Amino acid sequence: MQNSDPIWDHVDRHREAFIGLSDRVFDTPETLYAEHASVAEHKKMLEHYGFRLTENAAGIPTAVVGEAGDQGPVIAILGEFDALPYLSQEAGVAEHQPIEDGGNGHGCGHNLLGSAALLAATAVKEWLELNGIKGRVRYYGCPAEEGGAAKTYMVREGLFDDVDAAISWHPATFTGVNEANSLANTRIDFTFHGKAAHAAGAPELGRSALDAVELMNIGVNYLREHIPDAARVHYAYLDAGGVAPNVVQSRAVVRQLVRASSLPELNDLIARVRKIADGAALMTETRVTSQVFSGVSNLLGNRPLEETLQAELEKLGPVAFDAVDEAFARDIQKTLTAADIDTTFKRIGAKPQKDLALCDFIAPLDRHSDGGEGSTDVGDVSWAVPTVQARVATCAIGTPFHTWQTVAQGKAPAAHKGMIYAAKAMAATACRLIETPSLIDTAQQTHRDHLEAMPYTCPIPDDVNPPV
């Protein structure tokens, strides 16, 4: 691809260094709030390229912010680098082949996400310096997107208060502007306190905390019939009360993950779940306490930014994959179901193309999606400042994320090509914003209009700290 935008040259100049960063982070997969090696690699790159560092951002040891430039608008570029548990997998192998049983793996491509974001920030830094343009680019190295809500804490602590606009991306099976559809959620740990007793000799003296957890889960299961279609409630046992069935369990802990389309809807659903917990405690004569673990808001769209990013994607054209990329993608597709492959097309409202291994088009901005939605702490950034995200093809069509198949493709040439492409799209969007103050003004007015219609309420209470 011949570069037609000078900012693309700045990206290409450093592509190999940042592919190396992505691969190093891939090789040391770390989960929420434990990304010490990963953030260290990002700090090295920030220092090498002359960014001003803020370490321990928002009091989080694995969060870092790097800034360059002075005066002018502040453009944030958001990066992530956390992995997922139990997804260890050899790269470049189209079969399930864990490196370490029970080990971690980059099943959501965040090794690529953070590296491309930092590459984009580095390119914008060079562009500002070369052209003597007033403006600031700020890279946010954000940990714990997978369930830890680090960005929500960073927003709550004011780290985005002076930002004019934020840009991010996510690896995907297609290329297009990310739809501003996600579910607000919160994770709440409910601890039931009972009374131990001999389960055979004197069961009447015991009050089972485990019974209370099970009754709470039954209550939530019945609740599911009576919640909005998009809402979800999931759970996991954190402490089932021990391994001795002949002891009435005196303590048990369950984490309830509650999701809804908006913050008001989420708050209503949380209140109902809490009532179920209180009811379970009443039925078992136990006591229940709760602690919010994390929480994120739904994404807030920004049409002016989305149109700007769409224009940059169309200028770039599709990611330029080659025959080798397609061959490996087809090998991956052999491990998937037809329903898996159809999901990509549902996400963009397109007719399935059975013979297409890698995305060779740009999804239209106004498209109808039939795909399911997850959650992201980018949502809270989008309530703090105008925000836009890209989705960029890095893997075979149909690849389900949070699976070994995603990890297997995380160091492939196709993933690297998508990563460099994402950096160009984000850097070019940042340049357009800095060059066009009126565009920032329009994006901010759109953002204010949204907030006036529905004010922001942080989903994490002020007295809850990051679980670092």
- Rounded Cα distance, 430 and 188, in Å: 37
Closest CA to 25 of 77, 91, 71, 73: 91
What token pair was written down for 327? 């061959």
- Rounded Cα distance, 311 and 315, in Å: 6
User: If residue 359 lies in a helix (H) or strand (E), which one and from where to where?
Assistant: none
Virtual torsion, Cα 275, 276, 278, 282, nearest 10 deg: 130
| Amino acid making up residue 147 | G
CATH topology of domain 6-182+299-453: Aminopeptidase (3.40.630)
- Rounded Cα distance, 85 and 147, in Å: 12
- Rounded Cα distance, 316 and 11, in Å: 13
Residue partners of 349: CB distance under 8 A and separation at least 6: 367, 368, 369, 370
Q: Helices 413-435 and 303-316 meet at what angle, rounded to 10?
A: 130
User: If residue 406 lies in a helix (H) or strand (E), which one and from where to where?
Assistant: helix 404-408
| Maximal C-alpha separation, the chain | 82
How confident is the model at residue 1, as a pLDDT? 46
Structure pTM?
0.95
Pick the CATH number of 184-295 from 3.30.70.360, 3.20.20.70, 3.30.360.10, 3.20.20.10: 3.30.70.360
How long a stretch of residues is the chain? 468
Residue partners of 215: CB distance under 8 A and separation at least 6: 279, 280, 283, 284
Rounded to the nearest angstrom, the gap between the alpha carbon of residue 192 and the centroid of all alpha carbons in its chain is 31
What token pair was written down for 143? 């940990």
- Rounded Cα distance, 402 and 421, in Å: 22
- Rounded Cα distance, 194 and 207, in Å: 5
Evaluated on CA atoms 59, 63, 68, 71, the torsion sign reads negative
Evaluated on CA atoms 309, 393, 373, 154, the torsion sign reads negative
Q: With left for phi above 0 and alpha for psi between -120 and 50, is residue 269 left, alpha or beta?
A: alpha
What token pair was written down for 18? 């940042």
> What totals of helices (H) and strands (E) does the chain contain, helices first?
14, 11
**Any idea where the domains of the chain sit in the sequence?**
6-182+299-453, 184-295
Per-residue confidence in pLDDT tens, the chain, 468 aa: 456 799 999 999 999 999 999 999 999 999 999 999 999 999 999 999 999 999 999 999 999 999 999 999 999 999 999 999 999 999 999 999 999 999 999 999 999 999 999 999 999 999 999 999 999 999 999 999 999 999 999 999 999 999 999 999 999 999 999 999 999 999 999 999 999 999 999 999 999 999 999 999 999 999 999 999 999 999 999 999 999 999 999 999 999 999 999 999 999 999 999 999 999 999 999 999 999 999 999 999 999 999 999 999 999 999 999 999 999 999 999 999 999 999 989 888 888 888 999 999 999 999 877 656 899 999 999 999 999 999 999 999 999 999 999 999 999 999 999 999 999 999 999 999 999 999 999 999 999 999 999 889 999 999 999 998
- Rounded Cα distance, 412 and 321, in Å: 11
DSSP 93-121: -SS---SSTT--B-TT-HHHHHHHHHHHH
